[in-house]
Amino acid sequence: MLLDLSEEHKEHLAFLPQVDSTVVAEFGRIAVEFLRRGSNPKIYEGAARKLSVSSDTVQHGVEGLTYLLTESSKLMISELDFQDSVFVLGFSEELNKLLLQLYLDNRKEIRTILSELAPDLPSYHSLEWRLDVQLASRSLRQQIKPSVTIKLHLNQNGDHSTKVLQTDPATLLHLVQQLEQALEEMKTNHCRRVVRNIK
């Protein structure tokens, strides 16, 4: 799987061939630090003074490198796919090898950092359900009033929680149809592209 880099990211990465390989390696270290602790303008300003460029140029270069490394790590692309993805940028072979080495050295750490940043949402554990039908009441002798009671068991951070929901069968059927429609929508090319960019 090849990375799909936008023109903006290509522009940000275009700064890398203009600097020495040690600077690119330092940018890689700053990129991983950026993921861990967030942006630090002082680092950009210090690097910009040493390189005699604007701090925005340095920041864009680090952000472009961060994007390249995070997307590659998220998708766990192979060495060959990474090289092919970087090849389209038109960098020298030495710079391509350096970027590959940065990726290989940092991908496990980046995946760990990204997994820690991901929100911890409740996950499904089990489901119990019951169908109740009221056939009559004091005021109405012939009445059919069905209701579905659902007990949903969830896990979050090792804690178990329970949610009790009650609805009529028509609403439940509508909910099922909407969920099936959403699942079908996820199979379209547009949704796959969006999901790939979110990851």
Domain ranges in the chain are 5-115, 120-166, 169-198
Q: Are 67 and 74 in contact (CB under 8 A)?
A: no
Q: Which residues of 108-132 are buried (b: 16+ CB within 10 A; e: fewer)?
A: eebeeeeeeeeeeeeeeeeeeeeee
Return the structure tokens found at 196. 């790939």
Count other Cβ atoms within 10 Å, centred on residue 149. Answer: 13
The three-class DSSP label of residue 53 is coil
**121 HSE (CA, 13 A, CB side):** 4
Q: What is the pLDDT along the chain (199 residues), one digit of tens a residue?
A: 667 777 887 787 777 777 777 887 888 888 888 888 877 778 878 877 887 888 888 888 888 888 888 888 888 888 888 888 778 777 788 888 888 888 888 888 888 887 777 777 888 899 999 999 988 887 877 888 899 999 999 998 888 999 999 999 999 999 999 999 999 998 888 888 777 766 5
Q: DSSP alpha helices (H): ranges in the chain? A: 7-13, 21-37, 41-51, 55-75, 79-87, 93-117, 169-186, 189-198
**CA-based radius of gyration for the chain:** 26
Global confidence as pTM:
0.58
Residue type for position 49? R
